[in-house]
Structure 1
Amino acid sequence: MFSQGKSKSIIILFLFLAGVINYLDRSALSVAAPYIQSDLSLTPTEMGIIFSSFSVGYAIFNFIGGIAADRYGAKLTLFVAMIVWSLFSGALALVIGFASMVIIRVLFGMGEGPLTTTTSKMINNWFPPSNRATVMGLAASGTPLGGAISGPIVGFIAITYGWRISFLIIMVIGFIWSICWLKFVKEKPENSTEKIKTENKKVERETNLKLTFYLKQKTVLFTAFAFFAYNYILFFFLTWFPSFLVDARGLSIQQMSIVTVIPWVLGFAGLALGGLVSDFFYKKFFKKGVLFSRKLVLVTCLFLSAVCIGFAGLVTTTASAVTLVAFSVFFLYLTGSIYWAIVNDVVDKNNIGSVGGFMHFLANTAGIIGPTLTGFLVDKSGTYTAAFLLAGGLSVVASLAVIRFVRPITKPAPQIISENVTFDSKTRM
């Protein structure tokens, strides 16, 4: 239907739009939170539990979604995921209290869980290692854009028509994307023009490594820890920053919905540029090892993000707090594609989805712990200062851990066989 070059562009576009919808859905609750909290008579601790409940389903289905992408394909897995999460996003319009909100948010999180692992799997299917981080950054940059537009859109709808209507509109958008994705996107490039050949030659065949081999590697575990710190800051910003602006800084709902756009715009730029920067260093410092460029960007930018978010809790003016949070999100998102680039660099194709899903599962436990812990700290202290400092301190530790523990993975020696082998372009090495 399309040339391979055009098909690649379509895939990037659809993955970008999936990210926009994903964070439009996810951010909608945070923007509408002051209305929801008032309407349902929720305490800050209860609101924190609601924010965290999303990540219970989300973290589990990061892993399950990755396994499904390896087994059934990224295209089908992402189609089902979009349908499910859109359906339960719309179902938020039906909540009647705390318990129903928690249940629906868990189910909503289950639907969103496979997004990033299926995105990584699809990119691995279509793009070479030298520009996968760039493509991952461009595709994932839709997520902060979704966060940016959710403030004005959801804020306007909530003020004009009520907060419940905004979730129904977002559900319809997700259904439309799903139909188009199923119609226009292919799982892998077609190689129908290449004939199957029989050759008598030595073939070096990579040992079929089990998933458990990778799950025990320090590189995977400490990349997941860094991703945990990334998600801790992200979920803190995503869930509590709008309420911080209203409660601690005295902004109105209208003012808050506009101000929250600023960090998201910088995040969009950071996520789009992060992959480009990583691939630039990948090509420039290739002789020093593939992980050197990834670690250089990850450690530097995660540390800078930590410093900014920590100081944002100490400053006394709204402008300085918003500025520091915006720069924290910018530096944070510069690392956004690096975690996935590392997985693509060190894991064989058959385990990309599963290992990426496992890493994402561990990382997104931050979304379970962070929002609830933040609500508890706010309840007990009456301020957000401790929550800001905790988010920053965790990321400093994670940056140091990456320097120490993320190393190339030593795999078992490949088997060498000599036989008549029938193979096509997919098995040629």
Structure 2
Amino acid sequence: MTSPQVAPGAAKPTGRFRWFLAGGLLLPVTFVMSMDRAVMSATAPVVQKEFSFTVTEMSVILTSFWWAYALFQVPGGLLAKRFGPRKVLALAGIWWSLFTFATPYGVVFLGFVVIRILLGMGQAPDWPASVYTLQRWFPRHEQSRANSLLLCGLYLGNVVGSPLVVWIIGEFGWQDAFHAFAVAGLLLAVVWWWVVRDEPREHPSVRADEASYIEAGRYTGDDSKKLPWRAFTGSGQFWAIGMQYACLLLIQGFFQTWLPTYLVDARGLSLEDMGFLASLPWIAMLVCVFGAGALNDRVLRRWPSRVRLAAAGYLVAAAALVTGALAHSVPLLITFLCVSLGAVGVVQVQVWAACQDLGGSYSATLTGWTNLWGNLMAAAGPLFTGILVGIGGNWLIALLILAIAGLLGAVCWLFVHPERPLQTPRAATAHGTTTMEDAV
């Protein structure tokens, strides 16, 4: 069962350590994690030239990370549930920092591929462990704003990543770009281990009134019960939330991978103009992420309204993407692209709040499952888009298919009801089935 949310008029605690944890620790950890990815993308032309890799070999090196990252999402969530997010995220941060540092020393094609796979495996537990941390450290009526800080750390890398990496390369060399973020990640992993606890009440800096405030408003299911796999796989919600996130990252993948190429090749922008204009949709996304988080916690406190908002976000993202592609002027195009990616940000906030409520004490596992679907599409989607453009030579066809994915994502949300958690008493007491804990 779940506890009722704290009433809006309830007394606020004097302590605010939970916000320091979200904004002062999780946001920087997630930002550095995203920068570890941005370094490889930004240095790819230099690496390809220095080691004489073919375009195909370079594509395999770049995508090998995403396949490993996606496939290890569910194991990462299971580990966070079994051993706690404090331990898992600290070890994961050390792991991925070491392999980020080692990346320039891949030497041969296979060496780079292996390092990138190991890097993806190390980063996989980060998101499930982070979402699970926020579930334990925030009452439910504050979790959307906390999730917004987490998403900010991830998407901030898309705004400042390339310029920052290019500056480091110009000043110190391409190898030191990997070294810099590896050291930053290692330091943050140590700080995370030193500062964070799995439970607010266990932390010496958390006042008693803040701990009570958190506990009164968060999920309070019985963690001692083992949840059968059947409770997950037999639920339409389990499949719907994964499928909708695949649709979401198919759209988002266009902005992450193909937007610069689209602006230069299809719209004739210079590299200088493209660099600035391509960052504007990501800024719009950050604004919408924070706006949606505040709207959730302060106005839309019930899930039916949030589900409708998520479905509307998909429809707006799809419509704006196609309308922008049909626009003849560049300012109008960029405006619609900002609206499209901003709407994607609104959906993102709903996704992780839904995983926290729908999964209950197994939110880390459900988060891993959802991120598995999304990142499989993040790996395969841009390739699919590139093939479509290569065959037809027309970006509009590819963008129309992305818009159709948006329509499918909106339909999927009709089957998601986070107010009905997967961990039902009947499922939790089922016999003769493999449980989540047995699978670790």
**2:27 is the counterpart of 1:9:** no
Partner of 1:352: 363
Stretch moving more, 243-252 or 339-348: 243-252
Counterpart Cα distance in 2 of 1:255 and 1:31: 18
Unaligned runs of 5+ in 1: 195-203, 417-429
**2:237 is the counterpart of 1:227:** no
**2:141 is the counterpart of 1:123:** no
Q: Which deviations, in whole Å up to 9, do the C-alpha atoms of 1:184-231 show, x marking residues without a partner?
A: 11111126989xxxxxxxxx9797532431232111211111111111
Aligned partner letter, 1:299: A
Partner of 1:322: 334
Partner of 1:295: 307
Matches within 5 A, 1:158-237: 158-190=169-201, 208-237=226-255
Compute the displacement of 1:101 (Å): 4.0
Partner of 1:310: 322
Compute the displacement of 1:296 (Å): 1.8
Counterpart Cα distance in 2 of 1:29 and 1:210: 40
Counterpart Cα distance in 2 of 1:36 and 1:383: 30
Compute the displacement of 1:278 (Å): 2.2
Q: Which deviations, in whole Å up to 9, do the C-alpha atoms of 1:63-83 show, x marking residues without a partner?
A: 111000100000111112222
Q: CA RMSD in A?
A: 3.1
Counterpart Cα distance in 1 of 2:334 and 2:425: 49
**2:153 is the counterpart of 1:153:** no
Partner of 2:400: 389
SS of residue matched to 2:201? coil
Aligned partner letter, 2:139: P
Counterpart Cα distance in 1 of 2:293 and 2:227: 28
Matches within 5 A, 1:29-428: 29-36=40-47, 48-96=59-107, 99-190=110-201, 208-251=226-269, 253-283=271-301, 286=302, 291-349=303-361, 351-404=362-415, 406=417, 408=420, 411-412=424-425
Counterpart Cα distance in 2 of 1:59 and 1:130: 30
Counterpart Cα distance in 1 of 2:115 and 2:393: 29
Q: Which deviations, in whole Å up to 9, do the C-alpha atoms of 1:148-191 show, x marking residues without a partner?
A: 11122123234455444322222121112112111111111126
Partner of 1:198: none
SS of residue matched to 1:365? helix
Higher normalized strand content (fraction of residues): 1
Unaligned runs of 5+ in 2: 1-12, 210-220, 430-440
Compute the displacement of 1:41 (Å): 6.0
Counterpart Cα distance in 2 of 1:89 and 1:241: 26
Counterpart Cα distance in 2 of 1:413 and 1:114: 29
Counterpart Cα distance in 2 of 1:313 and 1:19: 32
CA shift in 2, pair 1:356/1:216, >3 Å: farther
Counterpart Cα distance in 1 of 2:277 and 2:106: 28
Counterpart Cα distance in 2 of 1:333 and 1:295: 14
CA shift in 2, pair 1:186/1:36, >3 Å: same
**Scaled by the length of structure 1, what TM-score is found?**
0.82
Q: Percent identity?
A: 25
Counterpart Cα distance in 2 of 1:282 and 1:321: 31
Stretch moving more, 154-163 or 179-188: 154-163
CA shift in 2, pair 1:242/1:157, >3 Å: farther
SS of residue matched to 1:179? helix
Q: Which deviations, in whole Å up to 9, do the C-alpha atoms of 1:2-21 show, x marking residues without a partner?
A: x9934312211211112211
8 A contact 1:31–1:242 mirrored in 2: no
Aligned partner letter, 1:7: F
Aligned partner letter, 1:105: R
8 A contact 2:226–2:428 mirrored in 1: no
CA shift in 2, pair 1:361/1:169, >3 Å: same
Aligned partner letter, 2:297: D
Compute the displacement of 1:370 (Å): 0.8
Compute the displacement of 1:260 (Å): 3.1
Aligned partner letter, 2:241: T
Aligned partner letter, 1:387: A
CA shift in 2, pair 1:166/1:322, >3 Å: farther
**Scaled by the length of structure 2, what TM-score is found?**
0.80
CA shift in 2, pair 1:161/1:106, >3 Å: same
8 A contact 1:223–1:406 mirrored in 2: no
SS of residue matched to 1:364? helix
8 A contact 1:225–1:398 mirrored in 2: yes
Counterpart Cα distance in 1 of 2:79 and 2:167: 38
Compute the displacement of 1:282 (Å): 3.5
SS of residue matched to 2:15? helix
Stretch moving more, 298-307 or 241-250: 241-250
Counterpart Cα distance in 2 of 1:54 and 1:117: 17
Aligned partner letter, 1:212: R
CA shift in 2, pair 1:191/1:21, >3 Å: closer
8 A contact 1:75–1:186 mirrored in 2: yes
Aligned partner letter, 1:240: W
